[in-house]
Structure 1
Amino acid sequence: MNNDWKNFLQNNGAKQGNNGLFAFNPPYSDYQNTKDNDCISDLSYFSTVVIAGADANEFLQGQFTNDVNKVDENNSQLSGFCNNKGRMIANYRLFQHQSNYFISLRNDLVERSINHLQNYVLRAEVGIQDISEQLIHIGISGKNAETLLASYIDNLNSTVDSVSSNDDYIAIRIAGSTPRYEIFCSFEHAVKLWEDIAAKTKIVNSDYWNYLNIKNGLPLIDSITSEAFVPQMANMELINGISFEKGCYTGQEIVARTHFLGKQKRRTYRISITSETEPEVGEQLATETSTENQYTGTLVTLYPIAKNKYEALAVIQIKSAEEAKLKLKESDAEINLLDLPYSLITSDA
């Protein structure tokens, strides 16, 4: 993380927790007071990695689940890469700027991701580097997000996954019924944008962006759930994160077989949890009839909305989600299904 940016946030009232996230407000207040209102958030818990070189396109096409050829200066995409068993090591946003490719992914996956990709570079003319200290990452959400950004980027594109940029800022439209943008820029330009927009909106804690991802059904995995799921379990093809028409990539045979043979047994669901014990990412779900060694799901991402109440995304067996009463494996927490903004395709089960 950029130390100047860290100091700037702390000088403006932020406190950094043991998890690395920055908080400006008391617990639960963002969920209770923000809703669809305009807000700005630090996204330093994501890192930015650049992949550059004459062979970058061909190299990434042989590793990523989505069609890299569809990414350009105006279009980003969600994507992922897998181990040779088709299990997803990381998922992230891929975008291009000044002929270089960039991925934005969780901090705790950077080292693992770079090491994995380096294993396949071989003689390709490709360089991979974490540049998080150079690019500040900010989120802006709300019905007036486009108006707020208009003075920074001309002709801002409002299409989901689109990229708008100039010499100072990169803005990517993120999925959601309420406009959301992720901004990448230098420290100096980040300070200017933050001071201006923060005066007109609500500053929210970093993890509120996680809630917005949960609300919009975007299950971005971390080191705890890395290599736990094939991409379809994380709904990647439902959020435009997989191409079944591109060529081969590591793990592609398993991913394609799951799709074309209809062997999909698990999906990501949005759920509410009521529990006196705080759940944890990676925690297992079960049903009332599960045996001691059985589990029916796994928590992927989690956000506390009130005392003892949480919203989460969880990978769950389709049959159990549709037919059984769910609970956390280690407690009797109450779990209920919530709506996602897209339809789950259950005919693969």
Structure 2
Amino acid sequence: MNTFWQYLSTQHPASEIRDGRYWQTDVQPQINPDLLQLSPLSQYGFLAIEGPDCSKFLQGQTTCDWRTISTEQASLGSYCNIKGRMVISFTAGMASPEIALLRLSADTADSGRDTLAKYIVFSKAKIRNASDERVAIGISGKLARQNLQAIFEQLPKKAMAQVSSDKGIVVQLDEAGERFEYWGPCDQATDIWQQLSPTAQICNADYWESLNIAAGIGEVCASSQDMFIPQMLNYQVIGGVSFSKGCYTGQEVVARMQYRGKLKRRLYKATVPASGLNYPAGTELFGGDAEQSIGNLVSMVGGDQSSALLAVLTEDAVAGKQIHFSDSSTLLTVTELPYAIPSKD
């Protein structure tokens, strides 16, 4: 546990990180989007790739185009195995021209580091798990930009833009400027928290996941590694795959699916009218009375009366509308994503 989490435990003695992922306090406020929300993102860790070849190395390994990623521009992305299956997914940014950061699911940081380390030996760069050194904080709500402007001299002005300073990195996730991630060293993160928290609603970390679900952004965690190709999580639509960057690990499979294949499964958003559900990512879903799985859960957040989720499902199953978990007859209701899917997909 790094110093930020130690500090937070003193401020919220009844808080805990449940199931090794989501920070949860004793009292969750009734969320008012007109105010400022602050979420400590315990579910995330960091890989740091440092050296003059950091971007060049990642260009040959990941799905995003590192020629466009800078101290002013972030990107979604993933690293795939040779079969095109996602080993890690991440949001990529640059702390400096020679320090690249991958913000990813904390439970994939070690395996992601170990896998990428096999290929970095011939590059002028080094990779390490920086999860004990850096912290991610979610800042959201209509007052998010206003409050951040009181701390940072500059802020990003569009979706997936970033600014980097000695205080850390701020990434804007939406066009409206109502959702940001802060990435910073533990001491700086503690200072940022102290400045923002007095006027903020302190939200459980799974609140941030509920915003990801609402935005249709699926991510890979330890229980879903090697399960999805990027198109199954709609990464070709939301900016996580470049088809003009050239070769990278798994590129042949990803490109073949885009130009010649027919995607049989993709990401859908859904709700289920049951509270307190807590299925892990990767859990199989079924259609009607069929015994064969028709998809897998990507993420899920339970509410008081219903639960929201993202799942990779077959088109036929969605058309049939009889989707459920194996141990429940309660049916999922598929809802609209906030972005359009091209018809060929």
Cα offset for 1:177?
5.1
SS at match of 1:244: coil
Tell me the residue number matched to 1:304.
Answer: 302
Cα offset for 1:151?
1.8
CA distance 1:274–1:156, change in 2 (3 Å): same
Cα offset for 1:346?
4.1
Structure 1 gaps of 5+ residues are none
Verify: 1:266 aligned to 2:265, yes or no: yes
Alignment length, in residue pairs? Answer: 341
Tell me the residue number matched to 1:23.
Answer: 24
Cα offset for 1:277?
7.6
CA distance in 1, matches of 2:324, 2:335: 15
Tell me the residue number matched to 1:216.
Answer: 215
Q: C-alpha offsets along residues 42-63 of structure 1, whole Å, 9 cap, x if unaligned? A: 0132111111123222211111
Tell me the residue number matched to 1:101.
Answer: 100
> Contact (CA 8 Å) 2:95, 2:168: kept in 1 or not?
no
SS at match of 1:199: helix
Tell me the residue number matched to 1:154.
Answer: 153
Tell me the residue number matched to 2:66.
Answer: 68
CA distance in 2, matches of 1:220, 1:88: 10
SS at match of 2:213: helix
For residues 121-270 of structure 1, what are the structure 2 equivalents within 5 Å? 121-175=120-174, 179-270=178-269
> Contact (CA 8 Å) 1:80, 1:89: kept in 2 or not?
yes
SS at match of 2:244: coil
TM-score (norm 1): 0.92
> Contact (CA 8 Å) 2:275, 2:304: kept in 1 or not?
no
Q: C-alpha offsets along residues 85-138 of structure 1, whole Å, 9 cap, x if unaligned? A: 010101000111222111000111011101110121232222001122222221
Cα offset for 1:154?
1.7
Tell me the residue number matched to 1:295.
Answer: 293
Q: C-alpha offsets along residues 200-227 of structure 1, whole Å, 9 cap, x if unaligned? A: 1100011111111111111011011110
CA distance 1:106–1:176, change in 2 (3 Å): farther
SS at match of 1:245: coil
Identity of matched residues, %: 29
- For residue 332 of structure 2, the aligned residue among 325, 335, 338 is 335
SS at match of 1:67: coil
Q: C-alpha offsets along residues 234-254 of structure 1, whole Å, 9 cap, x if unaligned? A: 111111000011111111100
SS at match of 1:68: coil
Cα offset for 1:25?
4.0
- The residue identity in structure 2 corresponding to 1:335 is L
- The residue identity in structure 1 corresponding to 2:50 is A
SS at match of 2:61: coil
Q: C-alpha offsets along residues 167-202 of structure 1, whole Å, 9 cap, x if unaligned? A: 213110013756111112233322222122111110
Tell me the residue number matched to 1:318.
Answer: 315
> Contact (CA 8 Å) 2:92, 2:100: kept in 1 or not?
yes
> Contact (CA 8 Å) 2:18, 2:24: kept in 1 or not?
no
CA distance in 1, matches of 2:206, 2:34: 16
Tell me the residue number matched to 2:50.
Answer: 52
CA distance in 2, matches of 1:193, 1:114: 28
Cα offset for 1:322?
2.8
> Contact (CA 8 Å) 1:275, 1:334: kept in 2 or not?
no
CA distance 1:133–1:17, change in 2 (3 Å): closer
Tell me the residue number matched to 2:286.
Answer: 286
CA distance in 2, matches of 1:230, 1:194: 36
- The residue identity in structure 1 corresponding to 2:235 is M
Cα offset for 1:69?
0.7
SS at match of 2:329: coil
Deviates more, 1:82-91 or 1:314-323: 314-323
SS at match of 1:172: strand
Q: C-alpha offsets along residues 278-329 of structure 1, whole Å, 9 cap, x if unaligned? A: 3412221111142x2x11111110101115x210000011222134321223
- The residue identity in structure 1 corresponding to 2:324 is K
Deviates more, 1:164-173 or 1:272-281: 272-281
> Contact (CA 8 Å) 1:158, 1:173: kept in 2 or not?
yes
- The residue identity in structure 2 corresponding to 1:17 is I
Structure 2 gaps of 5+ residues are none
CA distance in 2, matches of 1:276, 1:181: 28
> Contact (CA 8 Å) 1:25, 1:205: kept in 2 or not?
no
SS at match of 1:196: helix
CA distance in 2, matches of 1:169, 1:124: 26
TM-score (norm 2): 0.93
CA distance in 1, matches of 2:115, 2:257: 23
Q: C-alpha offsets along residues 143-179 of structure 1, whole Å, 9 cap, x if unaligned? A: 1111100022123122000012322131100137561
